[in-house]
Amino acid sequence: DIVMTQSPDSLSVSLGERATLHCKSSQSVLVTTTNRNHLAWYQQRAGRPPKLLISWASTRESGVPDRFRGSGSGTEFTLTITSLQAEDVALYYCQQYSTTPLTFGGGTKVEI
Amino acid sequence: EVQLVESGGGLVKPGGSLRLSCAASGFTFSNYDMNWVRQAPGKGLEWVSSITSSSTYIYYADSVKGRFTISRDNAKNSLYLQMSSLRAEDTAVYYCAREMDSSGSFDYWGQGTLVTLSS
């Protein structure tokens, strides 16, 4: 199984400041047949289901503000929130979908 | 508007069974692979099972293999999870999730249904 490790566990950032979240996979999630990184980021606000923010490591979903940016390749990935807003307080999870079992990281809690 | 509505959760004794349902609307259900993902109280997300659009391929997490069965009825726009031999560690909110373009990422999630194991 591919183990996804997120860091830090929690992050306190001032409004308007940058938040940087990390995700590392135990094996590469770059799939040669697609030449894409099979890595997604989700946001989960309190009491709500997860919401897909970014797929293919760096493709923002429709309606997701451009302050959310995904980057990385292979085994190391980053989610950057360039200017934190109050509504960004949430848990953030990375997920690999290169192979089953599909696996998630343990999450990073972003606070203000 | 895409909607996924889970039902069937509740309180069950260890060793018991339960069947979860997910009613889909707002999209052509038969075109999409579907999944169940669970979240234990205060914990992270765990993928449980997936089923392809025509039920050709089915996958399970090792933690539920042999105990849970995923199925779907495309005529009824519904996804199911039959759970048996339930254990305390199966206590979780169970989410139905639509797979984006058969990729393995999940673009729509239901609100979830809570399954609680207690004797």
| CA distances (Å), origin A83, targets A12, A104, B83, B111 | 13, 25, 44, 28
Q: Determine, for residues A104 and B104 on separate chains, whether the beta-carbon distance falls below 8 Å.
A: no
Residue percentage of chain A with pLDDT more than 90: 100
**pLDDT of A107:** 97
**DSSP secondary structure letters along chain B:** --EEEEE--EEE-TT--EEEEEEEESS-GGGS-EEEEEE-TTS-EEEEEEE-TTS--EEE-TTTTTTEEEEEEGGGTEEEEEE-S--GGG-EEEEEEEEGGGSS-EEEE---EEEEE--
Residue-wise pLDDT for A59-88, tens only, equals: 999 999 999 999 999 999 999 999 999 999
Using the Cβ of A63 and the Cβ atoms of chain B, whether some distance falls under 8 Å is answered with: no
- The answer to whether residue A108 scores a pLDDT higher than 90 is yes
pLDDT (average), residues B47-70:
97
Q: Determine, for residues B104 and A38 on separate chains, whether the beta-carbon distance falls below 8 Å.
A: yes
pLDDT (average), residues A52-63:
96
Using the Cβ of A49 and the Cβ atoms of chain B, whether some distance falls under 8 Å is answered with: yes
Residue-wise pLDDT for B20-42, tens only, equals: 999 999 999 999 999 999 999 99
Residue-wise pLDDT for B62-105, tens only, equals: 999 999 999 999 999 999 999 999 999 999 999 999 999 888 89
Chain A residues in contact with B100 by the CB 8 A cut-off are 52, 55
Q: Determine, for residues A106 and B106 on separate chains, whether the beta-carbon distance falls below 8 Å.
A: no
Using the Cβ of B95 and the Cβ atoms of chain A, whether some distance falls under 8 Å is answered with: yes
Of A55, A100, A105, the CB nearest to B100: A55
**pLDDT of B104:** 86
**pLDDT of A5:** 98
Using the Cβ of A64 and the Cβ atoms of chain B, whether some distance falls under 8 Å is answered with: no
Mean pLDDT across chain A, nearest whole number?
96
pLDDT (average), residues A9-16:
96
**pLDDT of B101:** 85
Chain A residues in contact with B42 by the CB 8 A cut-off are none
Chain B residues in contact with A42 by the CB 8 A cut-off are 45, 106
Mutate: best of A102, A103, A108, partner B, most B CBs <10 A = A102
Q: Which among B73, B75, B94 has a CA at the least distance from the CA of B5?
A: B94
- The answer to whether residue A54 scores a pLDDT higher than 90 is yes
